């Protein structure tokens, strides 16, 4: 049987389709005031004054000291990065991925001598926790005061 050659036009279309489907990952910045972050209850969370320690456009972060409060962020993607400053005293925020166990993100600057707890940060915001290798589907991140700490911080996500 005689095979018709595939017209060049069709084969280049096919190539374009295949390359468009190649997964390419890019980082998306989510600052603390993003409407994609749900603060529950909203009244338990407050926005700090702007300072050079925090990440994002706003240069501030959200904080709660309500043990029952939490923040929820849903996204479709393969990785999640949590950014925050460090403080020269004991600070820790809880993170729960897809309803799993709560892990504590240590936000204490262990290189500085401990100060009173009303002092500002001592290290600029950086990646303190990363969740990688997720399936490319919807994931839910919950940020909450972990047991034994009493605060939770939301500054910047990637
Ligand atoms: C996204 O940002 C994280 C944290 O800074 C970095 O490790 C990662 O390589 C970045 N990924 C891409 C695709 O740019």
d(CA 150, CA 127): 21
Q: What residues flank ligand 1, with Cβ below 6 Å?
A: 25-27, 81, 127, 158
Nearest CA owner, ligand 1 atom 9: 27
pLDDT for residue 67 is more than 90: yes
Residue 25: predicted pLDDT? 86
Distance from residue 76's CA to the centre of ligand 1 (Å):
16
pTM: 0.84
Query: Is the pLDDT assigned to residue 27 strictly greater than 50?
Result: yes
Where along the chain do its domains lie?
27-157
From the CA of 130, give the closest atom in ligand 1: 4
Give the Å distance between the CA of 64 and the centre of ligand 1: 28
Second-level CATH architecture of 27-157: Sandwich (2.60)
pLDDT tens digits for range 115-155: 888 888 999 999 999 999 999 999 999 999 999 999 999 99
Name residue 47's beta-bridge partners.
Answer: 62
CA of 24 to the centre of ligand 1 (A): 12
Contact 107, 154 (CB under 8 A): no
**Residues 38-65, mean pLDDT to the nearest whole number:** 95
């Amino acid at each position: 049987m005689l095979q018709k050659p595939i017209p060049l036009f069709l084969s280049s279309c096919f190539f374009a389709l295949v390359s468009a489907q190649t997964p390419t990952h890019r980082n998306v910045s989510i600052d603390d005031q993003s409407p994609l972050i749900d603060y529950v209850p909203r009244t338990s969370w407050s926005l700090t004054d702007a300072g050079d320690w925090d990440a994002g456009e706003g240069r501030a972060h959200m904080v709660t000291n309500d043990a029952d409060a939490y923040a929820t962020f849903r996204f479709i993607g393969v990785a999640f990065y949590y950014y925050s400053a460090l403080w020269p005293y004991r600070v820790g925020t809880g993170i729960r991925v897809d309803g799993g166990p709560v892990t504590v993100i240590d936000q204490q600057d262990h290189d500085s001598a401990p100060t009173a707890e009303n002092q500002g940060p001592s290290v600029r915001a950086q990646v303190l926790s990363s969740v990688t290798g997720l399936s490319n589907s919807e994931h839910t991140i919950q940020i909450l005061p972990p047991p034994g700490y009493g605060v939770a911080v939301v500054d910047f996500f990637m």
